[in-house]
Structure 1
């Protein structure tokens, strides 16, 4: 199984012991501020199973992210194929979700850069997208730091009309801009 190592992070396959800290992360309202809802333990565990299925079906997905210095699980970072329909799908997205205590330390940027490198060099992708709620400035800054450019604003059709999080922004990076 593929692992990616950066100076401070290991992006690796998921372990049973990741379930509890991942649930804690997914139930933290600060972390989930720009997502439709926090996740129950069952929903969080099901998310891990969908990630594992992505690795089986596509050969990649969101890796569990851990700190090299102490093996602490800090969240997820990686690549995935969105399951919803939009004007830009099918596509490969890059994403991250880190526990609050690990925000502001550059881990999302570090892991995302390594994921982009893997996507372009190992998977031979020509472009990768990312998207978030338009007010999620922290994630937008990560997208910009890794070289992605704003492409468009769109309505996330998986959310009901009138939902406060429905307006999203789309960012993209091409292999040629790396």
Structure 2
């Protein structure tokens, strides 16, 4: 376990997460504000194995963790933490059936506490402007808007948020 909050646990991905990971990553609604690409199960197996292998790399700065529900140990999503010392970034993604349950707010709040505990000075989050729910979460947690732009990858208006810890 990396950290926990009221209803959720953040832990390292394991290969048995593959089917749920694939379900999440191949849902066009989940991916619409990411890269929008839906891939095969074999591509997601390769991706999850690469993410798992990164845990053992000493200078790794790109961490993707599993988010699991405490009450039944179900995989509900992923948490990204990019720690490069310049722009430490957080991001999260949930299976669609776990949307609108307050998990996004809960995991962001707990991630802020975790980032303070490990000594980060500020964190950033990038939100596609159409993703009103994620923007609302960051604003509720006192992130400030620092930049508006069109994303290079999906060509949509996006906002960069920052929170000083």
TM range (shorter): 0.7 to 0.9
- Gap change, CA 1:48 and 1:142, over 3 Å in 2: farther
Q: Deviations over 1:90-129 (max 9, x none)?
A: 411111000001011111111111111111222x111100
**In 2, are the aligned partners of 1:96 and 1:108 still within 8 Å (CA)?**
yes
TM-score normalised by length of structure 1: 0.80
Q: Which runs of 5+ in 1 are unaligned?
A: 83-88
Secondary structure of the structure 1 residue equivalent to 2:28: coil
* Aligned equivalents of 2:76, 2:10: Cα separation in 1: 10
Partner of residue 129 from structure 2, selected from 128, 134, 138: 134
TM-score normalised by length of structure 2: 0.86
2:38 corresponds in structure 1 to 38
- Gap change, CA 1:41 and 1:154, over 3 Å in 2: same
**In 2, are the aligned partners of 1:52 and 1:61 still within 8 Å (CA)?**
no
- Gap change, CA 1:93 and 1:66, over 3 Å in 2: same
1:61 aligns with 2:63: yes
2:20 corresponds in structure 1 to 21
1:173 aligns with 2:163: yes
* Aligned equivalents of 1:152, 1:100: Cα separation in 2: 28
